[in-house]
């Protein structure tokens, strides 16, 4: 569960990321491919659309994490429902993009590294903890979405030209 402090830390840090979002996306993928060069081949040659989609998804997640408690009983359209969106995202990552299950740890490390680089002193221990928790919840939910696929277990790493 996320505490109120987590939610505030996520919201405030994202406000600081927004003006440098494109640089942050560049740094993130640079770091990811440094940590795990074999993942480059999972992505298309042109990374620009991917960077935009990742930033849009993160913005949506940050907004949803900040959902006011008073609104929990309200009806939400499927496309605005964080749980459904993240489950479906996880399913696409498993079935379409065939990302290895253990890649979530590397992606999480690249994300925290990017926030550290981008935010500097503003990336306090509290903010790191909050992002670690949010990412952990996302990764868990995405893996659950992946498990929903009929074939069951995760496939081995396959690249576009495999
Ligand atoms: C919280 C974790 C993650 C988030 C929020 C995220 C977000 C996204 C988004 C928004 C897309 C655009 C396409 C779509 O919506 O289906 C995408 C595509 C993709 N992601 Fe992720 N992702 C995450 C984890 C990962 C991990 C762990 C990997 C493993 C390397 C990965 C690799 C990819 C690949 C290969 C694509 C498809 C690119 C393409 O073919 O166009 N993602 N991701």
Q: According to DSSP H, which parts of the chain are helical?
A: 4-17, 21-35, 48-65, 82-95, 103-119, 125-147
List, chain by chain if needed, residues with CB within 6 Å of any ligand 1 atom: 39, 42-44, 50, 53-54, 57, 89, 92-93, 97, 99, 103-104, 107, 138-139, 142
**pLDDT the model gives residue 84:** 93
Q: Which segment of 34-48, 58-72, 79-93, 105-119 scores lowest on mean pLDDT? A: 58-72
The protein residue whose alpha carbon is closest to atom 27 in ligand 1 is 104
| Domain assignment present for 72 | no
pTM > 0.75? yes
Ligand 1, atom 13: closest residue by C-alpha: 53
Ligand 1 centroid vs 1 CA: distance in angstroms? 24
Give the containing element (helix H, strand E) for 159: none
pLDDT, tens digit (0-9, with 9 covering 90-100), for 32-55: 999 999 999 999 999 999 999 999
Q: How far apart are CA 50 and CA 41, in angstroms?
A: 13
pLDDT over 80 (residue 121): yes
The answer to the question of residue 157 being in a domain is no
Please give the number of the atom of ligand 1 that sits closest to the Cα of 32: 30
pLDDT digits 0-9 by tens, 90-108? 999 999 999 999 999 999 9
Q: What is the mean pLDDT of residues 56-75?
A: 87
Task: Quote the pLDDT of residue 159.
Answer: 57
* Any domain includes 162: no
| Contacts (Cβ under 8 Å, ≥6 apart) of 37 | none
Q: Which domain holds residue 116?
A: 4-65+78-147
Identify the helix (H) or strand (E) that includes residue 81.
none
Ligand 1 centroid – CA 36 distance (Å): 15
CA of 93 to the centre of ligand 1 (A): 6
Question: Any idea what the CATH number is for the domain that residue 55 is in?
Answer: 1.10.490.10
Atom 39, ligand 1: residue with shortest CA distance: 43
**Paired tokens of 138:** 């996302």
Q: What is the mean pLDDT of residues 133-155?
A: 80
Within-domain flag for 132: yes
Given CA atoms 94, 1, 67, 129 in this order, what sign does their dihedral have?
Answer: negative
Task: Name the residue with the closest Cα to ligand 1, atom 6.
Answer: 54
Over residues 53-67, the mean pLDDT reads 94
* pLDDT in the model for residue 118: 96
Q: Environment class of residue 17 by beta-carbon count within 10 Å: exposed (0-12), middle (13-18) or buried (19+)? A: buried
Q: Evaluate whether residue 105 is within a structural domain.
A: yes
pLDDT (average), residues 80-94? 94
Report how many domains make up the chain.
Answer: 1
| pLDDT over 90 at 162, yes or no | no
pLDDT above 90 for 74: no
Q: Is 45 part of a structural domain of the chain? A: yes
Residue 33 is predicted with a pLDDT of 98
Residue 31 lies in a domain: yes
């Amino acid at each position: 569960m996320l505490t109120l402090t987590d939610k505030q830390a996520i919201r405030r840090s994202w406000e600081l990321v927004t003006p440098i979002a494109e640089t942050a996306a560049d740094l993130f993928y640079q770091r990811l491919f440094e940590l795990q060069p074999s993942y480059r081949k999972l992505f298309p040659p042109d990374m620009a659309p991917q960077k935009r989609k990742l930033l849009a998804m993160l913005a949506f997640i940050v907004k949803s994490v900040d959902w006011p408690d008073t609104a929990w009983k309200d009806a939400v359209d499927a496309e605005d429902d964080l749980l459904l969106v993240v489950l479906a995202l996880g399913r696409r990552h498993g079935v379409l993009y065939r990302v290895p299950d253990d890649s979530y740890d590397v992606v999480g490390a690249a994300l925290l590294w990017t926030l550290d680089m981008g935010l500097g002193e503003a990336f306090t221990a509290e903010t790191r903890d909050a992002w670690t928790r949010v990412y952990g919840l996302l990764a868990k939910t995405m893996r659950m979405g992946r498990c929903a696929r009929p074939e069951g277990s995760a496939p081995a790493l396959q690249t576009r030209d495999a």
